Amino acid sequence: MIRPFPSLGLLDRVFMILFPSVLFLLLNGCASVSYYGQLASGQLQLLHAREPVQNVINDPSRDATLRAHLAQSQKARSFASEHLHLPDNQSYRLYADIGRPFVVWNVFATEEFSLTPQNHCFPIAGCVAYRGYYSQSAARGEAAIQRLNGMDVSIGGVEAYSTLGWFNDPIINTMMGWGDERLATLIFHELAHQRFYVKDDTEFNESFATFVEQEGTRQWRAFRELAAESGARLKQRDQFIKLVLDTRSRLEKLYAQPLSAEQMRERKAAEFERLRREYRVMRDGQWAGDKRYDAWINAPLNNARLLPFGLYDQWVPAFAQLFRQVGGDWLRFYAAVEKLGRLPIAERKVALKALVEPQ
């Protein structure tokens, strides 16, 4: 039975009722009914769990820390629409506790000697470089199958995602463990996906949302008269990303060489050891022993582990340059982004590259 939501729009309630049927009608011949079934049931569970944030804040029987955290989130939510010109709807004005640490787990996969992700195409989102599961065990099962097929595989837990305006997306308990500012950045990022999204171009979409998140957070801090985020911390993040992207570049060149599988495997392993070595030199020297990225660098490395870096960061400098070109005007910026998004993908990449090259 569908629970009534007086504060939600009629269209949202209709989607809740029709979503499973519509989803199965959109399946193509190669799609797995069981896979799409778990997508439908997972999304419906999330929709059922929603309640207005203000109801939680006003309920003295609820956890005081949760209520305070949500109260701060609503200030960031209002800032997102009023100052960043992100969609003004019920998204992130609702709360859902789904009783687990991540809302979905994404499975990334590449061939052993390739950095090209295994893409998956969906009726609404288009083609993306991962496959999402609402169950961690299901994600692990998919990863195990891919490994048996000789693929490089990585699993990543996701705190939040956007339904691109199809539903009123809630703040989820999975988003609550990072502090008020981290929650604000997640809201900015996910609302950016609602503001504009191009089918079949993950690098464009994620880089755009990441730029909005970063610039939005900078402006959010300034609005509250807080000091800018530590320059040293930002520099460390950028240096770490550069190390990973440099490794990707070297691997791409390696995989283009006419080598035997055994030689390729040895040189691939050497590149990952070089990444670890260069990281430790940087950590112990320039970073004075800061071990922020130790857990990531010490875990098993493969091609799939590198994929999110290219997806989420590749074009951030291009969007930053575009933002400067329009004088920091958000509406003009979004118009320019939409113009880029209408280009054929090859022309779009040329235009993005041209934005970065003058720098």
CB contact at 8 A, 29 and 121? no
How would you write the pLDDT of the chain (359 residues) with one tens digit per residue?
Answer: 333 333 344 334 433 433 443 444 344 444 477 888 888 899 999 999 999 999 999 999 999 999 999 999 999 999 999 999 999 999 999 999 999 999 999 999 999 999 999 988 876 667 888 899 999 999 999 999 999 999 999 999 998 888 888 899 999 999 988 789 999 999 999 999 999 999 889 889 999 999 999 999 999 999 999 988 767 788 898 899 999 999 999 999 999 999 999 999 999 999 999 999 999 999 999 999 999 999 999 999 999 999 888 677 789 999 999 999 999 999 999 999 999 999 999 999 999 999 998 65
Instruction: Return the pLDDT at 169.
Output: 95
Instruction: Return the pLDDT at 29.
Output: 40
Question: In sequence order, which residues have a C-beta less than 8 Å from that of residue 21 and are 6 or more positions away?
Answer: none
Cα angle: 112, vertex 130, 253; to 5 degrees: 35
Q: Which amino acid is at 106?
A: N
Euclidean distance between CA atoms 76 and 98, whole angstroms: 22
What size, in residues, is the chain?
A: 359
Looking at the DSSP bridge assignments, the partners of residue 152 are 110
**Structural domain boundaries of the chain?**
10-223
Cα angle: 182, vertex 275, 153; to 5 degrees: 70
- Candidates 352, 95, 84; CA nearest to 194 is 84
Q: Which two tokens stand for residue 185?
A: 């950045």
Strands 126-128 and 120-122: antiparallel
Euclidean distance between CA atoms 108 and 310, whole angstroms: 13
Burial class (CB in 10 A: 0-12, 13-18, 19+), 111: middle
Q: Cα 124 vs. chain centroid, distance in angstroms?
A: 17
Instruction: Return the pLDDT at 123.
Output: 67
Q: Which residue has the tokens 């008269």?
A: 225
Euclidean distance between CA atoms 355 and 161, whole angstroms: 28
Question: In sequence order, which residues have a C-beta less than 8 Å from that of residue 326 and are 6 or more positions away?
Answer: 332, 333, 336
Looking at the DSSP bridge assignments, the partners of residue 122 are 126
Looking at the DSSP bridge assignments, the partners of residue 51 are 95
CB contact at 8 A, 315 and 323? no
Instruction: Return the pLDDT at 55.
Output: 98
Q: Which two tokens stand for residue 266?
A: 């040895």
Instruction: Return the pLDDT at 262.
Output: 97
Query: pTM for this structure?
Result: 0.82
Q: Which amino acid is at 88?
A: D
Q: What is the 3-state secondary structure (H, E, C) of the chain?
A: CCCCCCCCCHHHHHHHHHHHHHHHHCCCCCCCHHHHHHHHHHHHHHHHHEEEHHHHHHCCCCCHHHHHHHHHHHHHHHHHHHCCCCCCCCCCCEEECCCCCCCEEEEEEECCCCCCECCEEECCCEEECCEEECCHHHHHHHHHHHHHCCCEEEEEEECCCCCCCCCCCCEEHHHCCCHHHHHHHHHHHHHHHHHCCCCCCHHHHHHHHHHHHHHHHHHHHHHCCCCCCCHHHHHHHHHHHHHHHHHHHHHHHHHCCCCCHHHHHHHHHHHHHHHHHHHHHHHHCCCCCCCCCHHHHHCCCCHHHHHHHHHHHCCHHHHHHHHHHCCCCHHHHHHHHHHHHCCCHHHHHHHHHHHHCCC
